[in-house]
């Protein structure tokens, strides 16, 4: 339980629409000659295959149609933000830690798993479990390298590695399923504490470079709108659910304070807080300016306008429909974003306009 929070993606036959989506250029391509090794922690926003590897299932088309031309173990029609960030450093896509078939961890490992949250702490694959997996990787990998194993990470490389975290969305989503708004707000500090433990644990084992994404506008997800939007009073000027977005903003304020505190407490550490909320909300608010239509409607789903989301007929299940031009949609399946949106998000991240302190992702390239 817990793990499949974001919807069941089962195996059904369907029609595949193969379309070429024009790729948005990323504004920054780094001169990173020796990119940092990256260890990533999080949920479906950055899971590049761990859930599929761990559970031995697969996603179905049309997932992946815009880029990989097969589902590629991601919940999107193509690449995720983390994929674009890796491209910007000229490093490969991250291999899931749970990949047991010829994994290549030379450039790092991805511990993110679809559905993950910070709490409860001891269930697969909470942030705490992901960090425990990392600590195991960290203690075993250097000795294996010395013994001649390839494609792992050597001892000194954990100090120069970049640790990226993108989690919290499922904590808020699950809380709203069972709690009142004030109760949700009361729980937020416990989520932030888990992120604090994660950063502190990694730091104690030598990690110094952290890149922390805040959480996006939960109340703009078609899935949430389809199930909660019953009266107009709760909707903001762009049609998103105010209580869910307010909770996300309160989470983000506390996360920002944590990052500032840790930046001064943890000697020699750099903790970059990235305002993903503003990046995502701005795109939804200004969708047409960026060439997107229907910012609150899923490309792949069922039911048509306004949200094209039906919890019984999610993307890939019998009866779903899929839009022709994914590049015009921000939401892929009602919960996850399209590759086109992810490309915009990544280019905004790389602009440094949303980072505190204001450093670029390639700041962590190893100085040779
Ligand atoms: C693993 O990836 C690195 C670069 O990311 C590459 O140089 C190496 O050849 C890869 N190993 C295998 C076995 O493919
Ligand atoms: C911080 O970095 C300096 C310079 O590299 C080093 O001398 C010092 O030991 C480091 N301190 C800690 C606590 O890591
Ligand atoms: C939309 O874009 C305008 C102009 O670039 C900007 O001033 C405004 O802040 C944006 N709206 C949101 C909600 O970000
Ligand atoms: C989904 O299925 C359940 C059980 O069959 C039903 O009660 C519910 O109304 C359905 N929801 C939608 C949006 O069709
Ligand atoms: C970043 O900020 C600068 C200065 O405000 C602006 O010119 C630029 O368009 C911004 N870039 C992005 C991607 O938002």
- Binding site membership of 40 for ligand 4 (Cβ less than 6 Å): no
Please state the pTM of the whole predicted model. Answer: 0.91
CA–centroid distance, 246 to ligand 4, in Å, is 29
Instruction: Kindly calculate the radius of gyration of the chain based on its CA atoms and give it in whole angstroms.
Output: 19
Sheet containing 209-213: give its strands across.
Answer: 108-110, 38-42, 162-166, 209-213, 270-274, 355-356
The pLDDT tens digits for 275-333 are: 999 999 999 999 999 999 999 999 999 999 999 999 999 999 999 999 999 999 999 99
From ligand 2's centre to the CA of 35, what distance in Å? 22
CA distance 364 to 35: 8
Query: Does the Cβ of 336 fall within 6 Å of ligand 5?
Result: no
Conformation bin of residue 303: beta by default, left when phi > 0, alpha when psi is -120 to 50: left
- The mean per-residue pLDDT over the stretch 214-218 comes to 98
Q: Which of 104, 206, 200 is nearest to 155 (CA)?
A: 206
Q: What is the rounded CA–CA span in Å between residue 103 and residue 192?
A: 32
Sign of the Cα torsion 311, 315, 321, 323 reads positive
Residue 312: CB within 6 Å of ligand 4?
yes
Question: String of b and e for 103-132 (b: at least 16 CB within 10 Å)?
Answer: eebebbbbbbbbbbbbbeeeeebbbbbbbe
Predicted local distance difference test score (pLDDT) of residue 19? 35
Q: Is pLDDT of 9 > 70?
A: no
Across 175-200, average pLDDT:
98
Ligand 2 within 6 A of CB of 264: no
Read off the pLDDT band of 230 (50, 70, 90).
confident
Give the number of the ligand closest to the Cα of residue 313.
Answer: 4
| Residue owning the nearest CA to atom 6 of ligand 4 | 312
Distance separating alpha carbons of residues 336 and 223, to the nearest angstrom:
10
Question: How remote is the CA of residue 263 from the centroid of ligand 3, in Å?
Answer: 30
Query: Over the stretch 113-159, which tens digit does the pLDDT of each residue have?
Result: 999 999 999 999 999 999 999 999 999 999 999 999 999 999 999 99
Residue 262 has pLDDT above 90, yes or no: yes
Percentage of residues in the chain with pLDDT exceeding 90?
Answer: 87
**How far, in whole angstroms, is CA 63 from its chain's centroid?**
16
**The pLDDT value given to residue 309:** 98
Q: Using CA atoms, how far apart are residues 350 and 26, in angstroms rounded to an integer?
A: 8
Residue 337, pLDDT > 90, answer yes
CA of 221 to the centre of ligand 4 (A): 19
Q: What is the pLDDT of residue 229?
A: 72
Q: Which tokens go with 346?
A: 């990544």
Confidence of residue 31 (pLDDT cuts 50, 70, 90): low
Mutation probe of ligand 1 site: the residue of 104, 153, 154 with most atoms within 8 A of C-beta? 104
Cα separation values, 4 from 52, 116, 242, 317, 321, Å: 12, 9, 25, 15, 22
- Condensed to tens digits (0 to 9), the pLDDT of residues 61-84 reads 999 999 999 999 999 999 999 999
290 or 5: whose pLDDT is higher? 290
- CA–CA gap between residue 168 and residue 170 (Å, rounded): 6
Ligand 1: residues with CB < 6 A are 92, 104, 106-107, 151
* pLDDT > 50? residue 8: no
Write the residue with the smallest CA distance to atom 3 of ligand 1: 106
Nearest CA among 101, 109, 103 for reference residue 137: 109
- Tell me the catalytic residues: 44, 333, 336
Query: What pLDDT sits at residue 193?
Result: 98
pLDDT of 12 strictly over 60: no
CA atoms within 13 A on the CB side of 54: 21
Give residue 34's pLDDT: 87
User: Do 78 and 63 touch, CB atoms closer than 8 A?
Assistant: no
CA 293–ligand 3 middle distance (angstroms): 16
Q: Which residue's alpha carbon is nearest to atom 2 within ligand 1?
A: 106
Which ligand 2 atom sits nearest the alpha carbon of residue 208? 14
Is the predicted pLDDT of residue 32 greater than 90, yes or no? Answer: no
In the chain, pLDDT over 70 holds for what percent of residues? 91
Nearest CA to ligand 4 atom 13: 310
pLDDT at 28 over 60: no
Domain 38-292+352-365, architecture per CATH: 3-Layer(aba) Sandwich (3.40)
Query: Which atom of ligand 4 lies at the shortest distance from residue 312's CA?
Result: 1
Q: Supply the pLDDT for residue 40.
A: 98
* Bridge partners, 274 (sequence order): 213, 355
3-state secondary structure labels for all residues of the chain: CCCCCCCCCCCCCCCCCCCCCCCCCCCCCCCCCCCCCEEEEECCCCCCCHHHHHHCCCCCCCCCCCCCCCCCCCCCCCCCHHHHHHHHCCCCCCCECCCCCCCCCCCEEECCCCCCCCCCCCCCCCHHHHHHHHHHHHHHHHHHHHCCCCCCCCCCHHHHCEEEEECCHHHHHHHHHHCCHHHHHHHHHHHHHHHHHHHHHHHHCCCCEEEEECCCCHHHCHHHHHHHCCCHHHECCCCCEHHHHHHHHHHHHHHHHHHHHHHHHCCCCEEEEECHHHHHHHHHHCCHHHCCCCCCCECEECCCCCCCCCCCCCCCCCCCEECCCHHHCCECCCCCECHHHHHHHHHHHHCCCCEECCCCHHHHCCCC
Angle made by CA atoms 268, 272, 274, in degrees to the nearest 5: 175
Closest residue CA from atom 14 of ligand 3: 282
- Give the distance (Å) from ligand 5 centre to CA of residue 25: 15
In ligand 3, the atom with minimum distance to the C-alpha of 289 is 2
Neighbours of 346 (CB within 10 A): 26
């Amino acid at each position: 339980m817990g793990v499949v929070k974001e919807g069941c993606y089962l195996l059904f036959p369907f029609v595949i629409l193969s379309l070429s989506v024009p790729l948005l250029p990323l504004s920054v391509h780094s001169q990173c000659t020796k990119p940092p090794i990256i260890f990533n922690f999080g949920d479906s926003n950055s899971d590049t295959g761990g859930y599929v590897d761990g559970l031995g299932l697969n996603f179905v088309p049309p997932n992946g149609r815009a880029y990989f031309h097969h589902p590629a173990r991601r919940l999107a029609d193509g690449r995720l933000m983390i994929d674009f960030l890796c491209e910007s450093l000229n490093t490969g896509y991250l291999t899931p830690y749970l990949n047991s078939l010829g994994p290549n961890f030379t450039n790092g490992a991805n511990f993110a798993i679809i559905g993950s949250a910070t709490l409860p702490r001891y269930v697969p694959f909470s942030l705490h479990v992901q960090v425990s997996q990392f600590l195991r990787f960290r203690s075993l990998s250097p000795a294996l390298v010395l013994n001649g194993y390839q494609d792992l990470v050597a001892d000194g490389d954990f100090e120069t590695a970049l640790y990226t975290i993108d989690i919290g969305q499922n904590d808020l989503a699950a809380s709203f399923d069972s709690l009142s708004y004030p109760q949700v707000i009361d729980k937020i500090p416990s989520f932030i504490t888990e992120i604090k433990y994660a950063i502190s644990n990694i730091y104690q084992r030598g990690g110094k470079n952290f890149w922390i994404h805040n959480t996006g506008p939960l109340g703009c997800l078609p899935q949430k709108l389809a199930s909660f939007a019953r009266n107009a009073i709760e909707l903001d000027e762009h049609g998103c659910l105010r209580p869910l977005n307010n909770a996300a903003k309160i989470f983000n304020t506390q996360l920002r304070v944590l990052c500032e505190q840790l930046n001064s407490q943890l000697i020699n550490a750099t903790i970059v807080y990235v305002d993903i909320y503003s990046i995502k909300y701005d795109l939804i608010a200004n969708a047409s300016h960026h060439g997107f239509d229907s910012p609150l409607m899923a490309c792949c789903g069922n039911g048509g306008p306004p949200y094209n989301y039906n919890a019984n007929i999610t993307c890939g299940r019998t009866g779903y429909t899929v839009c022709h031009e994914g590049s015009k949609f921000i939401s892929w399946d009602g919960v996850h974003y399209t590759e086109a949106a992810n490309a915009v998000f990544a280019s905004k991240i790389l602009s440094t306009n949303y980072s505190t302190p204001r450093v670029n992702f390639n700041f962590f390239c190893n100085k040779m």
